[in-house]
Amino acid sequence: MNYLIFFVIPVFIYLLNSYIIKNKYLLNFSGETHQKFLGTKKAPLSGGIFLILFLSTILIEKDIMIYFF
């Protein structure tokens, strides 16, 4: 069962991220210097949100969050 989740979750995140980018949700209009490699003034923020959710899930599962707070 864990292997199924391991392969389904990335596909789901990819499809959801593609949908968010296509419909221009969660755009950052600031154009910071580290975002200039993208070549546009509107960089999507959805990848960072998925990364934070993924890392927080791992840290909570491993009980590492206790050390941060």
pTM of the model: 0.60
- Does some domain include residue 52? yes
pLDDT string in tens for the chain (69-residue length): 567 777 888 888 889 888 988 888 877 766 566 666 666 666 677 878 888 888 887 777 777 666 665
Cβ-in-10-Å burial (0-12, 13-18, 19+) of 59 comes to middle
Q: Domain of residue 52: give its range.
A: 43-68
State the pLDDT at residue 32.
Answer: 66
Q: Count the domains in the chain.
A: 1
- Does some domain include residue 8? no
- Does some domain include residue 55? yes
- Does some domain include residue 30? no
Nearest to 10 by CA among 44, 53, 62: 53
State the pLDDT at residue 17.
Answer: 85
State the pLDDT at residue 57.
Answer: 78
- Does some domain include residue 62? yes
